[in-house]
Amino acid sequence: MGAAFFPVLFFTALWGVVGVVLPFLVPAGPNKGILQVILMLTAFTCWLFWLCCYMAQMNPLIGPVLKNETILLIGREWQSNPFA
């Protein structure tokens, strides 16, 4: 199972809007620059966190832990166990 194109495109566009479009919509004031930087950094870090979580699910480091009885039962039901 690999990466699907739609989720990556959707969330990149979503966080792209937050990081690129919304900073231009910040009203003028003494903290305009700070708010723009906050929006850009928030968008980037949220996108990066989402991307890391999404990619970690493609090849998980830890698989399901099964008991020996469960493995034998699966093998017998799937007829791939030579000891069944």
SS3 per-residue string spanning 7-61 = HHHHHHHHHHHHHHHHHHHCCCCCCHHHHHHHHHHHHHHHHHHHHHHHHHCCCCC
Give the pLDDT score at 59.
78
Read off the pLDDT band of 16 (50, 70, 90): very high
Tally the domains of the chain: 1
Q: Is residue 84 part of a domain?
A: no
Q: What is the pTM of this model?
A: 0.68
Question: Is the CB of residue 48 less than 8 Å from the CB of residue 40?
Answer: no
How far, in Å, CA of 73 to CA of 12, rounded?
Answer: 43
Question: Residue 73 belongs to what domain range?
Answer: 5-78
Query: pLDDT at residue 62 above 90?
Result: no
Proportion of the chain above pLDDT 90, given as a percent:
60
d(CA 38, CA 47): 14
Residue 34 has pLDDT above 70, yes or no: yes
Confidence of residue 56 (pLDDT cuts 50, 70, 90): confident
Mean pLDDT on 14-29? 95
The verdict on residue 71 lying in a domain is yes
